[in-house]
């Protein structure tokens, strides 16, 4: 595993925009003074006339994106998750969600893996916020291959999409040659009938590693990657609930309102089984290197293994 | 503006005001005061200024209109109905369950270019529409009406900065300066004055107008045409509740519907105005 390539999904976002800019001439990018960090600067370099910096004014940026979409453009409004989903929430809700405009929100620096900047910038609430907006599609890609595919899927889909990208370089585990992104469809990465691990974003790779470790202990843990958190793939989750009877969810987000909540909502209503959520508990993060924080907050293969064993009483 | 055109606009504005009262009365809620203060401006825009197609409301080259002060939707709806976008009968079911006309503007209503109502947001969408027009060299113009209380929202000034920076001279904003907001006089609540100086400092072409004089409105919108490289704001001095004696300049009529007696009196006053104009 030592030679696995690592790329941050924010990098994938910027690269995908730059690549797709030729194919989709109607694609425009907005940023709020963070083009170097969100990586939309890569697009700006190639298409300087199609990139508009709105300055440090995320509320207005979301409204401008709405106006661009209302006149037929496909705008990608980009900022950190904290400001895109947090600060600008009500503009996203009322100016993009309610009129169901074709705006794509590229939110980078999501989750605790923002690292050293600390709690003010570690957004663990964005999925919860976006999930409550009717008609909002939410994509949380797991690696470079999935993130690039997600950007194109967002362009092809007509309607508002919230995309979540990370700052930390993470392993590229999907095979670009064979990978297929289907909006709203989960992907079964490991088979198993003892328990199911449902993961999203950069926790998917950890879940796969955990499943492989568990297998060596004689535990067959199914792994499902939910890249589209809304609309969620009910079928794959209900099948897992029925066939494995126990679910552990893993996400780099608050355990309130994110993937775990979404899975529990589906399971509770239609096929009740035990659902244990791994995520950031009801607390703020703090400064530190991203990898150390992930470990500290239990967002690791190690903690997934431990949790699965606890649930199974092994 | 010739006399006949002016008189016709005054007659139309009177009918728009009747539609506002009809809508708010039947809804038993809504915002008559600020609707009446922009009735002449919307009449002017939709009957004398804007390039629009009531039978083809979505034609791409149409001028755009965003009612940033979305709570005054009755004025927009009444104007659109009188202009032929939909039947004036719709006004009677404003705010009712299952009705076309929602409490605040909704993009799915024929002729409504943007959902609005949460204050401070419409101007940003208008900026996006204007930027879009600049990108594609479109000929359309974008008009946006804001409240004078609304400009207390910080987002308005983010948008003001953006519009000047991107030289959106295809954008004309109107600040409806009726001087009142829910909690009282805008100068007492948390004063946004001086309004003209603020926009000028943000790099806008600033024009002042009398909101209830069609000659003054025409001159102001003509001035906006000459603002090359700069967005224009028309700060229009208006009277909240204009046209109905007991509603004029009364903050209590910001968001209150008339009862049956008040409705009858309001309609009687408007009918008298109409008779005198048509007589």
What pLDDT does residue A2 have? Answer: 53
What is the pLDDT averaged over residues A139-143? 98
Tell me how close the Cα of B197 comes to any Cα of chain A, in angstroms.
21
Please provide the DSSP assignment of A24-90 as one string. Answer: -TTEEEEESS-HHHHSTHHHHHH-GGGEEE--S-HHHHHHHHHHHHHTT-EEEEEEEHIIIIIITHH
Single pTM value for the model? 0.97
| 8 Å CB contact of A52 and B118 | no
Output the CA angle B274-B277-B279, nearest 5 degrees. Answer: 100
Percent of chain B with pLDDT over 70: 100
Angle at B173 between CA B172 and CA B179, to 5 degrees: 150
Which position has the token pair 């309607």? A159
CA-nearest residue of chain B to A56? B158
**Chain A residues whose beta carbon lies within 8 Å of the beta carbon of residue B129:** 67-68, 70-71
Calculate mean pLDDT across residues A72-93. Answer: 98
Angle at CA of residue A33, ends A64 and A50, nearest 5°? 55
Q: State yes or no: pLDDT of B56 exceeds 90.
A: yes
Find residue B147's DSSP bridge partners: B176
pLDDT band at residue B68 using 50, 70 and 90 as cut-offs:
very high
Give dist(CA A73, CA A160) in Å, integer.
13
> Is pLDDT of B112 > 70?
yes
Report B:231-270 residues touching A (Cβ under 8 A).
Answer: none
Question: What three-state secondary structure class fits B205?
Answer: strand
| Length of chain A measured in residues | 314
Q: What is the pLDDT of residue B93?
A: 97
pLDDT at B94: 97
Strands A187-190 and A27-31, by their bridges, are unpaired
**DSSP secondary structure letters along A218-244:** T--EEEEE--EEES--HHHHHHHHHHH
Q: Which residues of B192-215 are buried (b: 16+ CB within 10 A; e: fewer)?
A: beebbebbeebebbbbbbebbbbe
Binary contact (A59, B132; C-beta < 8 A) = no
Which of A64, A90, A91 lies at the smallest CB-CB distance from B127? A64
Asked if pLDDT for residue A3 goes beyond 90, the answer is no
CA-to-CA separations, B54 to A88, A102, B76, in angstroms, rounded: 34, 24, 14
Contact A251, A203 (CB under 8 A): yes
Smallest CA–CA separation between B4 and chain A, in Å?
36
- B125, A66: Cβ pair inside 8 Å? yes
CA B199 to chain centre: 19
pLDDT digits (tens, 9 = 90+) for B19-55: 999 999 999 999 999 999 999 999 999 999 999 999 9
* Chain B environment of A72 (Cβ under 8 Å): 60, 132
∠ CA A38-A42-A48, nearest 5°, is 110
Q: How far apart are CA B14 and CA A120, in angstroms?
A: 54
Question: Are B107 and A72 inside 8 Å of each other by CB?
Answer: no
The whole-number pLDDT of residue B279 equals 84
3 state DSSP class of B225? helix
Share of chain A above pLDDT 70, in %: 99
C-alpha A83/C-alpha A89 separation (Å) is 8
User: By CA distance, what is A30's nearest residue in B?
Assistant: B128
Nearest residue in B to A54, CA atom:
B162
Contact A63 B115 (CB under 8 A): no
Instruction: Please confirm, yes or no, whether A243 is among the known catalytic residues.
Output: no
Q: Residue B236: is its pLDDT beyond 90?
A: yes
Q: Is residue A180 classed exposed, middle or buried when 0-12, 13-18 and 19+ CB atoms within 10 A define those classes?
A: exposed
Please judge whether A55 and B130 are an interchain contact, meaning their C-beta atoms are less than 8 angstroms apart: no
The residue among B105, B109, B118, B124 with the most chain A CBs within 10 A of its CB, best to mutate, is: B124
- Asked if A248 and A219 count as a contact pair (C-beta separation under 8 A), the reply is no
Taking only residues 185 to 244 of chain A, the set having a beta carbon closer than 8 angstroms to any beta carbon of chain B reads none
Structure tokens at B183: 């909690």
Residue A4: pLDDT band by 50, 70, 90 thresholds? Answer: confident
The domains found in chain A, sorted by start residue, are 6-171 (3.40.50.970), 187-312 (3.40.50.920)
Determine how many CB atoms are found less than 10 A away from the CB of residue A302.
14
What integer best gives the mean pLDDT of chain B? 98
Task: State whether residue A71 sits within 8 Å of chain B by CB.
Answer: yes
In this prediction, residues B84-107 reach a mean pLDDT of 98
Q: Which residues of chain A lie closer than 8 angstroms to B138, CB-CB?
A: 71
The structural architecture, per CATH, of the domain B3-278 is 3-Layer(aba) Sandwich (3.40)
Q: What's the ipTM?
A: 0.97
DSSP secondary structure letter of residue B252: G
pLDDT at A241: 98
**DSSP per-residue string spanning B31-79:** -HHHHHHTHHHHHHIIIII----TTSTT-TTS-EEEESSGGGHHHHHHH
Q: What's the per-residue H, E or C state across A145-202?
A: HHHHHHHHHHHHCCCCEEEECCCCEEECCCCCCCCCCCCCCCEEEECCCCEEEEECCC
- pLDDT mean over A239-255: 98
**Which of these is catalytic: A11, A25, A58, A213?**
A58
Quick one: average pLDDT of B171-188? 98
Q: How far apart are CA A259 and CA A140, in angstroms?
A: 10
Residue A1 above 70 pLDDT?
A: no
Q: What is the mean pLDDT of chain A?
A: 97
């Amino acid at each position: 595993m030592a030679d696995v390539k690592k790329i941050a999904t924010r990098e994938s976002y910027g690269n995908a925009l730059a690549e797709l800019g030729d194919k989709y001439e109607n694609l425009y990018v907005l940023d709020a003074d963070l083009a170097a960090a969100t990586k939309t600067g890569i697009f700006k370099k190639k298409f300087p006339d199609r990139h508009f910096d709105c300055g440090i004014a995320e509320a207005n940026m979301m409204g401008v994106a709405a106006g661009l979409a209302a006149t037929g453009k496909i705008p990608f409004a980009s900022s950190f998750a904290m400001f895109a989903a947090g600060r600008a929430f009500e503009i996203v809700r009322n100016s993009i969600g309610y009129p169901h405009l074709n705006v794509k929100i590229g939110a980078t620096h999501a989750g605790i893996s923002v690292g050293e900047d600390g709690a003010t910038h570690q957004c663990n609430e964005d999925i919860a916020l976006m999930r409550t907006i009717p008609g909002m599609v939410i994509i949380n890609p797991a690696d470079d291959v999935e993130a690039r595919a997600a950007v194109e899927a967002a362009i092809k889909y007509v309607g508002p999409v919230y995309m979540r990208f990370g700052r930390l370089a993470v392993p590229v585990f999907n095979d670009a040659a064979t990978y297929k992104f289907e909006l709203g469809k989960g992907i079964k990465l490991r088979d198993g009938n003892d328990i199911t691990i449902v993961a999203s974003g950069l926790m998917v790779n950890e879940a796969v590693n955990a499943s492989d470790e568990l297998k060596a202990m004689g535990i067959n843990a199914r792994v499902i990657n939910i890249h589209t958190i809304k609309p969620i793939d009910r079928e794959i989750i209900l099948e897992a609930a029925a066939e494995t009877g126990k679910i552990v969810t893993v996400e780099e987000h608050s355990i309130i309102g994110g993937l775990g909540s979404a899975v529990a909502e589906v399971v509770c209503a239609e096929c009740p089984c035990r659902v244990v959520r791994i995520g950031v508990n009801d607390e703020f993060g703090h400064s530190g290197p991203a990898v150390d924080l992930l470990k500290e907050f239990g967002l690791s293969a190690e903690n997934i293994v431990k949790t699965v064993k606890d649930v199974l009483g092994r | 503006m010739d006399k006949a055109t002016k008189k016709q606009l005054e007659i139309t504005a009177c009918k728009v005001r009747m539609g506002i009262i009809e809508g708010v009365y039947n809804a038993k809620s809504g915002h008559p005061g600020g609707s009446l203060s922009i009735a002449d401006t919307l009449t002017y825009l939709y009957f004398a200024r804007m390039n629009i197609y009531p039978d083809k409301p979505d034609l791409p080259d149409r001028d755009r209109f965003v009612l940033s002060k979305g709570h005054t939707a009755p004025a927009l709806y009444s104007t659109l109905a009188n202009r032929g976008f939909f039947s004036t009968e719709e006004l009677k079911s404003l705010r009712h369950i299952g009705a076309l006309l929602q409490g605040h503007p909704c993009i799915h209503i024929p002729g409504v270019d943007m959902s609005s109502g949460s204050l401070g947001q419409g101007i940003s969408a208008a900026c996006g529409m204007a930027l879009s027009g600049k990108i594609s060299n479109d000929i359309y113009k974008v008009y946006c009406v804001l409240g004078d209380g609304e400009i207390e929202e910080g987002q308005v000034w983010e948008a003001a900065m953006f519009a000047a920076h991107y030289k959106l001279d295809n954008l004309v904003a109107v600040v409806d300066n009726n001087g009142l907001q829910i909690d009282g006089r805008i100068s007492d609540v948390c004063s946004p004055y001086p309004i003209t100086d603020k926009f000028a400092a943000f790099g806008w072409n600033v024009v002042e107008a009398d909101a209830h004089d069609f000659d003054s409105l025409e001159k102001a919108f003509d001035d906006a045409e000459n603002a090359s490289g700069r967005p224009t704001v028309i700060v229009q001095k208006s009277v909240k509740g204009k046209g109905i004696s007991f509603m004029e300049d009364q903050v209590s009529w910001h968001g209150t519907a008339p009862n049956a007696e008040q409705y009858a009196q309001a309609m009687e006053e408007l009918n008298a105005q109409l008779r005198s104009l048509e007589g």
